[in-house]
Structure 1
Amino acid sequence: MTYESLIAQYPNLVIKEVKTLPTGLAGLYLDNIILIDQYRSNYEKHCILAEEIGHYETTYGDISDTSTIRNWKLELLARRWGYEKIVSLEKLIDCHELNYRSIEEVCSHLEVTEQYLQSSIEHYKTRFGVSLHYKGYDIFFDPLYLIKR
């Protein structure tokens, strides 16, 4: 899934790339509007957009103060939603079937940054443990490796 195809899935959202955002933010969701730092790379924008759509799908209200436990949990919920949207288990299987084995090849195919891919894998490892049997594959998360069964 590309940045553009992710945008196309949400025609009810206004998604704009902007020059300035509040300090420290790469993206912002508010009332069906997503703002993304236009100076980021395309892969970074894709990752940022997934998380901001995660806020649209999973959270509510102003959670900009992440010093509270409630808001931090909602931030993590949106981030995890983004991981599962653009680095889904199905997409990892697709990469395997296309013979993409290196981190660089997987990142290029999924159009995500290496850091985002690693964070996604850590999320799956936390959720499922070191491995998971899924749709006829054994998926290992440390390091990422798939075996068709």
Structure 2
Amino acid sequence: MNYEFLLKEADHFGVSVYEEPLKGKIQGFYGDNVIWINKLLPSSANKYCILAEELGHYHTSTGDILDQKNIINRKQEARARSWAYERIMPLSKIIEAHEEHIRNKFEFAEYMGVTEEFLEFALKRYKEKYGVTVSYNEKYTICFEPLGVIKWFDKFF
């Protein structure tokens, strides 16, 4: 999956996406079925991560959540980010990266097409959600600290 794929997905849901220079530190913004991505972001990986999060807002948020002092708004922000993590970096991709012999977090971020910061936040969120390890498809255990995958032998019975 990549930025272009998410653009098509947004279009499928009737969400328009525009890239324009945005003021201040704003990287992306969602409202009324329109996503604005800061055209000045340094890489396609940045745009990909921001688009995923803004699509997360489309799928999970309601109303104006700009005031992040409000706990309900912060929860909606967290839900949108979680949606993004699970959409573009699901647990299956961690297994896939392991099978492709990805050796470190830098290579993993490159393999996924995401920023290292996005990868770190996604792994932190998964650790909050599952704990230090999670079983996957009864064949793997994903460890979040340190990051690694254990592949178990097939069951003999």
Separation in structure 2 between the aligned mates of residue 146 and residue 63 of structure 1, nearest angstrom: 37
In the alignment, what sits opposite 2:70? 68
What do you get for the CA RMSD once the two structures are aligned? 1.0
In the alignment, what sits opposite 2:31? 30
Higher relative contact order (CA 8 A, sep 6+): 1
Displacement of 1:24 in angstroms is: 2.9
SS for the counterpart of 1:104 is helix
Q: How many residues align?
A: 148
Q: Show structure 2 runs of 5+ residues with no match.
A: 153-157
Decide which structure has the larger Cα Rg and report it.
Answer: 2
1:46-76 Cα deviation digits (max 9, x unpaired): 1111110000000111111111011111111
Structure 1 segments (4+ residues) deviating >4 Å? none
Displacement of 1:10 in angstroms is: 2.2
> Please, what TM-score do these two structures have when normalized by structure 2?
0.90
SS for the counterpart of 1:9 is helix
Q: Show structure 1 runs of 5+ residues with no match.
A: none
Contact 2:10 / 2:17 at 8 angstroms: preserved in 1? no
Separation in structure 1 between the aligned mates of residue 84 and residue 98 of structure 2, nearest angstrom: 21
Contact 2:132 / 2:145 at 8 angstroms: preserved in 1? yes
- Give identity over the alignment, percent: 41
In the alignment, what sits opposite 2:150? 147
Equivalence map 1:39-50=2 (5 Å)? 39-40=40-41, 41-50=43-52
Match among 133, 136, 139 for residue 134 of structure 1: 136
